[in-house]
Amino acid sequence: MNAVAPSTLLALDDISLSFKGVKAITSISFSVAAGEICALIGPNGAGKSSLLNVINGVYQAQSGSISYAGQTRRRMRPHQAAEDGIARTFQNIALFKGMSVLDNVLTGRNLKRRSTWLEQMLRVGRAPAEDDEQRWHAERIIEFLRIHPWRHALVGKLSYGLQKRVELARALAAEPRLLLLDEPMAGMNAEEKREMSQFIRDINRELGTTVVLIEHDIGVVMGLSDHVVVLDYGRKIGDGTPEQVRSNPDVIAAYLGTRRSQSARSQ
Partner 1 sequence: MSQSLPQALLQQSQTRGAQAALRYKQLGIWQTRSWSELAVEVSRLASALHQRGFGARHDLLIISEARAEALLLALAAHWLGGSVSLLDPAVDNRDLLPALAPDFAVAEGLEAVGQLRSAPPRVLIFLDKRGLSTAPDKGLVAYAALLDGVHAEPPRPAVNATTHAFIFPSINGLLRQELSHRDLLLGARQLIDVQGLDNHEQALAARVFATSGQARYLLAPWLVAGFCLNFPEGLSTRDNDRRELGPTLVLGTRESYARLELWARERRPLPGSLSHVLYRWAMNPAPGVLRRWLGHWLIRRPLLDVLGMSRLSKPLLVGEPLTPQSTAFFSALGIEPRSLSAVANANVPADLPASVSPQPA
Question: Rule CB under 8 A: is residue 191 a binding residue for partner 1?
Answer: no
Tell me which stretch binds partner 1 (CB under 8 A): 69-77, 141-149, 179-187, 256-264.
141-149
Question: Rule CB under 8 A: is residue 157 a binding residue for partner 1?
Answer: no
Q: For residue 116, how many other CB atoms are within 10 A of its CB? A: 13
Near partner 1 by CB under 8 A: residue from 187, 205, 223, 258 = 205
In the three-class reduction of DSSP (H, G, I as helix; E, B as strand; rest coil), residue 217 is classed as coil
Q: How far is the CB of 52 from partner 1 (least distance, A)?
A: 28
Near partner 1 by CB under 8 A: residue from 142, 172, 228, 231 = 142
Amino acid identity for residue 190 in this structure: A
Q: Residue 113: left (phi > 0), alpha (psi -120 to 50), or beta?
A: beta
Rounded Cα–Cα distance for residues 167 and 164 (Å): 5
Rounded Cα–Cα distance for residues 256 and 2 (Å): 31
Q: How far is the CB of 152 from partner 1 (least distance, A)?
A: 8
Q: For residue 251, how many other CB atoms are within 10 A of its CB? A: 22
Question: Rule CB under 8 A: is residue 206 a binding residue for partner 1?
Answer: yes
Question: Rule CB under 8 A: is residue 112 a binding residue for partner 1?
Answer: no
Tell me which stretch binds partner 1 (CB under 8 A): 43-51, 142-150, 219-227, 247-255.
142-150
Question: Rule CB under 8 A: is residue 117 a binding residue for partner 1?
Answer: no
Near partner 1 by CB under 8 A: residue from 6, 71, 117, 136 = 136
Identify the H or E element spanning 105: helix 101-107
